[in-house]
Amino acid sequence: MKGDAGECDAALSRIDCIQIRGRTFFVKRDDLIDPLLSGNKYRKLYRLMQVECGQCQRIVSYGGTQSNAMLSIAALCHQKGWQFHYTCKPVPERLQHHPSGNLKMALEFGMQLHEVAHDEYEAAILALQSQCDELSLFVPQGGADPMAQQGIAVLAQEISLWRQQNKVEMLYVVTPSGTGTTAFYLAMALPDATVLTTPAVGDKDYLLAQMRRLGAAPANLKILQRSKKYHFAKPYPELFAIYEELIDAGIEFDLIYGTLMWRTLLQHIDHFEGTILYVHSGGLTGNETMLARYRRQGFIAS
């Protein structure tokens, strides 16, 4: 079986092959599509990219201050000449004085940040959508929106073509979940494959509730249980160990979603006989601030 990109020229990303603990894994390199609009954010914002510059003046969104979605939207708005208004909770003082990582880059792209006090945040984000006029587009946190379906369907077509060309019989497609939007639409678009995911935010019930907003959960979507509770975006030595193991295997993954997905996948791997295709969800720009946190907490020698 071969997995080189030359076989499907139209694909936005190639498929690589890595060996981990004696097993072969294929990796869809969506991290390489674009340095800023990378991974599943590129796929989820695909439809926005098709909007002509003059048809919109601003994007309105909200969420965390190191969010990958935030940076991707900021980069897109910069390309399109659109304003980007982003509502968040108060920025921690350290970050306010020394913006770093995704926040720094998004601000450099002209993102206008609107900080709202914790107790006013819920009301402020509820009001955002109604404040939009016809030249504004509202994007929910993390790009969790039906508009994501179109770009993820393109990803699914690329996967289906590769599968046909390589005569893959039993296929598992693996990708980590925040809002679950990517895994949900991938499973819908690939009814003959099984999509495996794990929640990086909250637990399985939280993820199912998020997905229910998009529709009834497809039967071919499986949520793998993590071995313990992980707080979102917190450093854990065992996740750093996986990060290094993956780098040794040849590919860097993000330290929030990717490492947790790989750890969970490897714990359950004996249940899955067949071909495994991991969809790299990008997010590498966030590693700078995550590595700094690992260093501050003494998990890596500086």
Ligand X SMILES: *Cc1c(COP(=O)(O)O)cnc(C)c1O
Residue among 65, 83, 5, 76 at smallest CA distance from 41 = 76
Maximum C-alpha span of the chain: 55
285 lies in the binding site for ligand X (CB under 6 A): no
259 lies in the binding site for ligand X (CB under 6 A): no
Q: How far is the CB of 280 from ligand X (least distance, A)?
A: 8
First to last CA, the chain: 42
Residue placing its CB nearer to ligand X in the complex, 57 or 226: 226
Q: How far is the CB of 7 from ligand X (least distance, A)?
A: 26
Residue placing its CB nearer to ligand X in the complex, 38 or 168: 38
Q: What does the alpha-carbon distance between residue 57 and residue 115 come to, in Å, rounded to a whole number?
A: 21
Q: Name the one range near ligand X by CB under 6 A: 19-27, 58-66, 244-252, 281-289.
A: 281-289
Q: Which helix (H) or strand (E) holds 294?
A: helix 287-296
257 lies in the binding site for ligand X (CB under 6 A): yes
Q: How far is the CB of 232 from ligand X (least distance, A)?
A: 11
Please give the residue whose beta carbon sits closest to ligand X in the complex: 283
Among 39, 101, 140, 151, binds ligand X (CB under 6 A): 39
40 lies in the binding site for ligand X (CB under 6 A): yes
Q: What does the alpha-carbon distance between residue 38 and residue 73 come to, in Å, rounded to a whole number?
A: 11
Q: What does the alpha-carbon distance between residue 233 and residue 256 come to, in Å, rounded to a whole number?
A: 5
Among 13, 102, 177, 275, binds ligand X (CB under 6 A): 177
Q: Torsion angle, CA of 172/176/178/184, rounded to 10 degrees?
A: -10
Q: How far is the CB of 217 from ligand X (least distance, A)?
A: 13
Give the CA count within 13 Å in the CB-facing half-sphere of 105.
21
Structural tokens at position 154: 């393109």
63 lies in the binding site for ligand X (CB under 6 A): no
Residue among 86, 84, 89 at smallest CA distance from 120 = 89
- String of contacts with ligand X for each residue 128-167, x by CB under 6 A: --------------x-x-----------------------
Applying CB under 6 A, the residues found at the interface with ligand X are 39-41, 68-69, 142, 144, 176-183, 254, 257, 281-283
